[in-house]
Structure 1
Amino acid sequence: MTSDMKVDNVTAVLKVIAILEGLDAVGESSLADLSQRAVMSKSTAYRFLQTLKNLGYVTQNPESEKYRLTMKVFVLGSSALGNVDLIKTADPAMASLSKLTREAVHLGTLDTSTAEVVYVHKYNSHFNLCMHTRIGDRSPAYTNSIGKALLAHLPQNQLDTLLQNIKLEPRTEKTVTSEQVLKKELSSIAKSELSEDLEEMDEGVCCFATPIFDHNGKAIAALSMSIPSIRYHQEITNEYKKILIEAGRNISENLGYAKK
């Protein structure tokens, strides 16, 4: 293969990635908007979109003619993350929590390379006032309950290294930006089954989470519930916390975890 052919192949891959990321960012897009977002001509974008359609990664709305990603992309990503079994196992409990509380329920994992939470499954809130996320979204682990639940169960040396490589920047006025304060909180969380985020990631939104363990006793994910702050400080929230912890325990047991 000549060097020119190699360059062309790399360029093609970069353009496909740009299209996929463009669709991921907006959800649904016209050809004109997508070509502009991906910085390529409409004819080039159209050619790659047709290939992605034929492969089943993109679909087109016959009425609006807009393009969007298919679930095949999510399945591919989930397989790479090793979360397919996790999601299947967690889904019934999450569905029950959603039906019972009507609040937003999330399942997230920790990307230790970036110290970010990745949301891999969710049930939307039934209320208009709620936290808005999409599957695949990321957020700094130190700012939210899922991230804290997972950071708290990392080996100490791994946690120290991870925190040394990130900057604790505020997302809101209540975000913990002191490493000393954060470590103290994580130490407390590690002794319990619950972590909290009190408007530390988004103003007006509070969350609580519980870790999920695999058969080796490793915290591989966390289950959370998000509630607007105006509803959070109510007696019913304490009941929701108990229910969430029990759901997390059940999911862990179904994954083969046996608490010592």
Structure 2
Amino acid sequence: MANDDEIQIEPVSSVMKVFAILSALSTQKSLGVTELSRLSMTSKSTVYRFLQTMKMLGYVRQEGDTDKYSLTLKLFEVGAKALEYSDLVEIAEPHMNRIGETTHEALHLGIRDADNIVYVFKVDAQYNLRMQSRIGRRNPLYSTAIGKVLLAEKPEQEVREILANTEFLPSTTNTHKDAASLIAELAIVREQGFGEDVEEQEEGLRCVAAPIYDRFGNVIAGMSLSYPTLRHSDEDKLKYIEMLQESCKKVSDQLGYRSQQ
């Protein structure tokens, strides 16, 4: 019976071959299957299969009806996103820590992935009552303050496309039941410049969030502050929103965003 190391040899070998092909393509405008086979030291039939998969995924393109292939910009886009989000966390962290020290409440930094948000950084509350959250956790766009700021400035048609296959599951009685009700709230979010979750994701928990912009003026992330309803006051909420908006503006500026206002 094969041990774990033996089981892992073939997948690792395949990945190494794929990256050998990508590396070879990065050195030339285009290369044929025979050349790629030689450069990657892989059989032509295997190279062809890998190329067809990479073509289907959008990482390479075929030159007409020839057997030559070239890289698309998708790898650049993936790398640029990784760099952007790496910078995002590094820039946002001190601002979030400062707000956490002032308020003692939990803060999250989230980005969109399909119809979910993904937490990429968090600051725990300093109280005994804490949220059950973690970096890498996903939550729906429709029931989170971060999700709302990520959607608010997108055209309505794009929002509907993003949510086309979303099942609106009622986490609480306050959760949006469909795209129409969420879209109606997004107009308010866009106008006021912040999103709010009033016990929509979790009973007894409120959350406010502000948007973070990239250098092109796109909302790429949201920064939120969460707190239990037992500690809620309208005065505190306004202070939280002001702190979030101020910090998000500074983060956006550091990412290269320049407001037109």
Q: Same fold (TM over 0.5)?
A: yes
Q: Structure 1 residue 9 and structure 2 residue 10: aligned?
A: yes
Query: Quick one: distance in 2 between partners of 1:211 and 1:80?
Result: 19
Matched to 1:90, the amino acid is A
Partner of 2:70: none
DSSP-derived class of the 2:128 partner: coil
DSSP-derived class of the 2:252 partner: helix
Partner of 1:157: 157
The structure having more radius of gyration, on CA atoms, is: 2
Q: What is the CA-CA distance between 1:208 and the residue it aligns to?
A: 0.3
User: Which consecutive residues of structure 1, in runs of 5 or more, have no partner in the other structure?
Assistant: 14-76
The 5-angstrom pairing of residues 1-260 of structure 1 reads: 9-10=10-11, 80=82, 82-111=84-113, 113=114, 115-260=115-260
TM-score (norm 2): 0.67
Structure 2 CA distance for partners of 1:218 and 1:163, relative to 1, 3 Å: same
Query: Quick one: distance in 2 between partners of 1:117 and 1:172?
Result: 18
Q: Decide whether the 8 Å contact of 2:209 with 2:224 is kept in 1.
A: yes
Following TM superposition, where does structure 1 have runs of at least 4 consecutive aligned residues deviating by more than 6 angstroms? 5-8
DSSP-derived class of the 2:142 partner: helix
| Structure 1 residues 61-104: Cα deviation after superposition (integer angstroms, max 9, x where no partner) | xxxxxxxxxxxxxxxx9974841000011111111101111100
How many residues matched? Answer: 191
Matched to 1:208, the amino acid is V
Structure 2 CA distance for partners of 1:192 and 1:84, relative to 1, 3 Å: same
Query: Quick one: distance in 1 between partners of 2:183 and 2:192?
Result: 15
Decide which moves more: 153-162 or 98-107.
153-162
Q: What is the CA-CA distance between 1:151 and the residue it aligns to?
A: 1.1
Q: Decide whether the 8 Å contact of 1:107 with 1:221 is kept in 2.
A: yes
Structure 2 CA distance for partners of 1:81 and 1:205, relative to 1, 3 Å: farther
CA RMSD of aligned residues (A): 2.5
- Identical counterparts, % of pairs: 36
User: Which consecutive residues of structure 2, in runs of 5 or more, have no partner in the other structure?
Assistant: 1-5, 15-78
Structure 2 CA distance for partners of 1:104 and 1:6, relative to 1, 3 Å: closer
DSSP-derived class of the 1:164 partner: coil
Structure 2 CA distance for partners of 1:250 and 1:80, relative to 1, 3 Å: closer
